[in-house]
């Protein structure tokens, strides 16, 4: 097929589509070049994170010529949505000639090359907090994950903090009763001191929770 203009490249068993021309260039200045477009699902699993996550992807690459290997590292086109494809070609656009690989074995090898690339290179990044054994969900922002960690921290320390708070308030009440028994009726001073100490206690509690929420976290990389 090399050396002459292709009217149309047809591969048995392969659905054919044409990329719609973008606004701007005149159709007479464009040419169609054959490419492979594969739609697939990529699945990521991790027993440790209890994760089984799938994403729908599409990959494109120029159809290789002669005995060259397909290059999945360079997309033939970036697809935001499949509505960019047409079921029929634009009659004003011609075809790029070439000695393209169109055998079933060659196409199977192209698919195998893509599968190998995905297994080797695709990763899903999640955040992990070793203190509480928490993993983020796919796509979570770090700020959202730290909020979850803070909630977990409060849930763990809240019983102990309540016990300490009750003990603290009991000691303050005992101090007020001791002052009253000695005739030191300085209720307003004691109340202000009580409020000040209580606020200081709550600030310490918040700082402790904040310390837990910012505890060391790691990024877990999960292979597909």
How many domains does the chain fold into? 2
Cα–chain-centroid distance for residue 98?
Answer: 40
pLDDT tens digits, 119-130: 998 888 888 888
Closest CA relative to residue 7, chosen from 97, 101, 86: 97
Q: Which two tokens stand for residue 212?
A: 């837990």
> Which of left, alpha, beta for 150 (phi over 0: left; psi -120 to 50: alpha)?
alpha
Closest CA relative to residue 222, chosen from 52, 65, 35: 52
- 103 and 87 assigned to the same domain: yes
- 168 and 102 assigned to the same domain: no
What pLDDT is stored for residue 117 in this prediction?
93
Give the contacts of 104 (CB within 8 A, at least 6 positions apart): 12, 13
76 vs 150: CA distance, rounded Å: 45
Q: Is the pLDDT of residue 172 over 80?
A: no
CB 45 within 8 A of CB 135: no
Pairing of strands 51-62, 35-46: antiparallel
- 23 and 111 assigned to the same domain: yes
Confidence of residue 77 (pLDDT cuts 50, 70, 90): confident
Give the E-state strand segments of 5-150 in sequence order. Answer: 18-19, 31-32, 35-46, 51-62, 85-86, 94-95, 123-129, 134-135
Question: What is the pTM assigned to this prediction?
Answer: 0.62
- 22 and 83 assigned to the same domain: yes
SS3 95: strand
- 108 and 190 assigned to the same domain: no
Q: Looking at 106, 121, 136, which one is the last position of a domain?
A: 121
pLDDT tens digits, 96-136: 888 887 888 888 999 999 999 999 988 888 888 888 888 99
What domain range is 116 assigned to? 18-121
């Amino acid at each position: 097929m090399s050396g002459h203009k292709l009217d149309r490249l047809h591969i048995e068993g392969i659905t054919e589509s044409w990329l719609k021309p973008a606004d701007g260039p005149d159709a007479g200045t464009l040419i169609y070049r054959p490419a492979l477009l594969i739609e697939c699902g990529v699945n990521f699993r991790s027993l440790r994170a209890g994760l089984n996550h799938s994403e729908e992807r599409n990959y494109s690459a120029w159809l290789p010529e002669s005995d060259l290997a397909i290059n999945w590292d360079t997309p033939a086109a970036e697809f935001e949505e499949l509505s960019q494809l047409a079921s029929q070609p634009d009659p004003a656009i011609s075809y790029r000639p070439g000695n393209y690989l169109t055998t079933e074995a060659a196409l199977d090898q192209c698919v195998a090359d893509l599968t190998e690339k995905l297994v080797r290179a695709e990763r899903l990044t999640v955040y992990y907090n070793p203190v509480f054994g928490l993993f983020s969900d796919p796509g979570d922002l770090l700020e959202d994950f730290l909020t979850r960690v803070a909630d977990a921290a409060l849930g763990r320390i809240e019983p102990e903090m309540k016990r300490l708070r009750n003990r603290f308030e009991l000691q303050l009440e005992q101090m007020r009763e001791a002052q009253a028994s000695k005739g030191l009726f300085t209720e307003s001073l004691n109340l202000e001191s009580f409020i000040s100490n209580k606020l200081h206690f709550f600030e310490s509690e918040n700082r402790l929770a904040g310390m837990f929420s910012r505890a060391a976290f790691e990024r877990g990389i999960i292979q597909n």
